Amino acid sequence: MIKKEEYIYKWFERFWHWSQALLIFFLALTGFEVHGLYHLFGFENAVFLHDIAAWAFLVLIVFAIFWHFVTGEWKQYIPTTKYIKAQIAYYITGIFKGAPHPTHKTVYNKFNPLQRIIYLGLKLLVIPVMVITGIIYMYYTYPNNPIEISGLGLIAHIHTFGAFALMAFVVAHVYLTTTGETPLASIKAMITGWEVVTLDEKEAHKVHMQKAVDDSVAGYYRLDSKGFFVEVNDAWLSMYKYSNKSDVIGKHYSLTRKSEDLQELDHIFQSVMKGKSITSKPVKRKCSDGSTGKHLLSANPVTTEDAVIGIEGFILDLDETHEFSEHMYDAVRDSGAGYYRLDEQGIIRDVNEAWLKLYKYDKKEEVIGLPCSFLRPEGEVEEFNQIFRHVMQGETLSGKITMRKCKDGTLARHISSASPIVMGNKIVGVNGFILDLSELDVSTRV
């Protein structure tokens, strides 16, 4: 399990939520006075204030609807029956035993199935009914009106019952906010927007891998079973000097090689389609303008349950002008690229198998949660911290040769890339790749 602070509630969402909370509270306060339950503002003022608040609420609703559709956040409310039993069981029994929440909050799925159903019910049933009956209540004078209902009774009763239902919802809603990480965590999250969420490894890995791919200096590609491009990222495009994805997608991979190099690639493609993985093979590419460049290629089969349906992988540029390029070209040949991810405080949140191998660890759990700085020889910690700060301010770093301290205390060299992880409009961490250089005595070669 990985715990992480995520930016879940956008500023408008929070503004909307709290305004709505205030308005519902105020509407209930004045509404139940109009209902005759107590004397607080006086009937006249209560009606006046109730009407004003109702109009304010209506304006807020219009903005909220707009926001939900523009941001696509409405999808968060699509009801699902998946895990709903588990969620109910959790509230009835699991919570007392300290069992974990059966569902996990992410930026893309911030409501549990019960919340989805209840909130959707509020949005599609309770609030529209309250708004419609409220408007009729305000303007309806029987029988001098086109709508034929005999009097306000029914309208008023529906409106009143809706108010009771909303109040019951508020009670349960406020109580359930205390079932988060800590009793006040959910309320704090609704104020600041940030909430510590527990992510399951696979999901987080997927999400961050995707993110890493999108942002990294490493080029990513995916081909279908016949060798046609399905996907490439921006880094890939820039290495190949294309300006548009559409120039590449759907084309055959043969356009990426000079004819004399194509046979090698055919060979790679066929072997990967048979299930083999290629890690860091130095190759020569043909760019869109006909120029050439060197990069490291990795390729893995893309599989469904039983068949290989394509290949995907990364390419890391080995720029000809880079002073170490030749060495690296040799160095990283056949070596696996290690992937790592740090949070904004420099704590390791994720690494891959290749990374573990390079650092001589056996399991991820040994390093996840530790600050990255301990992976450096003491003399280089300050330099590392400086790099980390730069990346956290938005810089991207590639091809930096650094010294690592392995599990057994031995030192080794690698070349690393680091790019910021951007979430919303905030940098929330750093990720990148490392390529081993330990087999080479760089200093003698230079």
Partner 1 sequence: MKEKVRLTTKKDSRKNFFRLLLFFAALIIPWILVSIFITKTSVKQENTEIKLINYKPDTIADVDHSKFPLLRQNFESPEQVTAACLTCHNLTASEIMHTSHWKWTKVYVTEQGDTIALGKKNIINNFCVGVPSNEPRCTSCHIGYGYKDKHFDFQDSSRIDCLICHDQTGTYEKFPTGAGYPVSTPKSFNGKEYLPPDYSFIARNVGTPRIENCGACHFVGGGGNNVKHGDIANELKEVTQEVDVHMAIDGAHMECVECHITERHEIMGNLYSIASENTNRLRCAHCHTEQPHQDNTLNRHVRKVSCQTCHIPTYAKESHTKMYWDWSRAGQFKEDGSLLVRKDSSGNIVYHSKKGAFVWENNVKPDYIWFNGKAEHYLLGEKVDSIRPMPLNQLYGNYHDKESRIIPVKKHIANQPYDPINRTIILPHLFGKDSMAYWKNFDWDKAARHGMQYVDLPYSGTYDFIETVMYWPINHMVAPADQSLQCADCHARDSRLKSLTGFYLPGRDHNNLLDLLGYALLIASFAGVLIHALLRLKNNNKSVKNN
Catalog residues that contact partner 1 under the rule CB under 8 A: 11, 14-15, 18-19, 22, 34-36, 39, 42-45, 47-49, 52, 56, 91, 95-98, 137, 141-144, 150-153, 156-157, 160-161, 163-165, 167-168, 171-172, 175, 178, 344-346, 370-371, 389, 392-393
**By C-beta, is 14 or 333 nearer to partner 1?**
14
Cβ 165 to partner 1 shortest distance, Å: 7
When the beta carbons of 18 and 108 are compared against partner 1, the nearer one is 18
> Shortest approach of partner 1 to residue 296 CB, angstroms?
31
Which residue, 14 or 357, has its beta carbon nearer to partner 1?
14
Least separation in angstroms between CB 223 and partner 1: 39
Residue 345 neighbours by CB under 8 Å, 6+ apart: 371
Q: Give CA–CA dist 209/309, Å, rounded.
A: 20
Question: What's the distance, CA 66 to chain centroid?
Answer: 23
C-alpha 377: how far from chain center: 33
The residue (of 176 and 401) whose beta carbon lies closer to partner 1 is 176
Cβ proximity of 344 and 428 under 8 Å: yes
Cβ distance to partner 1 smaller for residue 364 or 413: 364
Own/partner pairs, 260-267, CB within 8 angstroms, 24+ separation: 261/286
Least distance in angstroms from the C-beta of 152 to partner 1: 4
CB of 42 to partner 1, least distance (A): 6
Q: How far apart are CA 409 and CA 377, in angstroms?
A: 9
Q: Output 219 or 432, the one with its CB closest to partner 1.
A: 432
Shortest Cβ distance from residue 179 to partner 1 (Å)?
A: 8
Number of C-alpha atoms within 13 angstroms, CB side, residue 261? 14
CB of 68 to partner 1, least distance (A): 18
Closest CA to 329 of 415, 236, 218: 415
Q: Dihedral through CA 107, CA 109, CA 110, CA 114, nearest 10?
A: 180
Shortest distance, position 39 Cβ to partner 1, whole Å: 8
Q: Which is nearer to partner 1, 128 or 143 (CB)?
A: 143
Length of the chain: 446
Residue closer to partner 1 (CB basis): 397 or 401? 397
Angle (deg, nearest 10), helices 11-34 and 185-192: 110
Q: What is each CA distance from 347 to 3, 80, 198, 276, 354, in whole angstroms?
A: 12, 35, 16, 34, 19
Cβ atoms of 15 and 60 within 8 Å: the answer is: no
Tokens of 60: 């807020």
Q: Which is nearer to partner 1, 392 or 415 (CB)?
A: 392
In Å, what is the CA distance from 202 to each residue of 1, 199, 300, 341, 343? 9, 8, 19, 14, 17
Instruction: Provide DSSP, 391-429.
Output: HHTT--EEEEEEEEE-TTS-EEEEEEEEEEEEETTEEEE
Q: Report in angstroms how near the CB of residue 91 gets to partner 1 at its nearest.
A: 8
